[in-house]
Homo-oligomer: A and B are copies of this chain.
């Protein structure tokens, strides 16, 4: 075994922006959108020369398949607190992902005024969540890399008994125990089953149009507690919001994505 984590290997980008979409980070053959965002963000962090994504938005243009990609990133503005960077991931002439993000140093931002109206989702012990059934009919290769341990009451969709509430909550960790840093949060917020799977009207699949993550703190060690909700399914689209909390009870990320319903 290498000392380098699978996530770090799968998201590495050379100095010229060349990279590889690695097999095994996909759902039914299409690379997970959070994985792709983390890969492109790794390059953006480098060109920004700031350690943390603070707010980052990706627009998904075509599916990411295993193989070589090119990442072109450029700094729009390097300010005192943040550097703003835009980046494109493409495979040959085919654009895959267009990203805009602002990067900073979360360690320097710690403290100050605080007001928290919320709490981590209420979850049973992680062992009670790990025993859940496989979630889908398609092979989910991604699930060999990460533990997504769902709250038992949210797993009904997998056995034909959706809960009726568009909510999914559970724990996240890497199977190789890689620490979860601000970069990994970009994966975390996109790797749970869609919350709408628990509606009776659940669509078969929900491709992401746009995905934004706000990183609000560097996570303390240990599994994360995550909750995903969709409230508005209409006119061919839905939003999915997440909150991600660390083991110390701190909100570490919020995300929202706009997903597309099949016509």
Contact = CB atoms under 8 A, between A and B. Distances in A.
A212 B212 contact: yes
B54 A111 contact: no
Copies of this chain in its oligomeric complex: 2
Interface string A206-230: 0001101010110000000000001
A210 B102 contact: yes
B59 A100 contact: yes
A109 B236 contact: yes
A156 to B, nearest CB: 16
A116 B237 CA distance: 12
Most buried by B among A99, A109, A203, A236: A236
Interface in A114-150: 114-118
B102 A100 contact: no
Nearest to A117: B231
Contact of A235 (B99, B110, B117): B110
B237 A109 contact: yes
Given A113-B201, A209-B82, A251 B234 contact: yes
Nearest to A251: B232
Contacts of A57: 57, 100, 210, 212
A67 to B, nearest CB: 19
B102 A209 contact: yes
Interface string A142-169: 0000000000000000000000001000
Contacts of A236: 109, 111-112
Contacts of A166: 115, 117
Nearest to A112: B236
Contact of A232 (B59, B101, B254, B261): B254
Interface centre among A115, A201, A212 (most CB of B within 10 A): A115
Given A54-B258, A55-B258, A59-B102, A234 B210 contact: no
Interface in A48-101: 54-55, 57, 59, 61-62, 76-77, 79, 81-82, 84, 86, 88, 95, 98-101
8 contacts: A55-B59, A57-B212, A86-B100, A109-B236, A111-B235, A112-B261, A210-B214, A214-B258
Minimum-distance CB pairs A-B, first 3: A115-B233, A55-B210, A109-B236
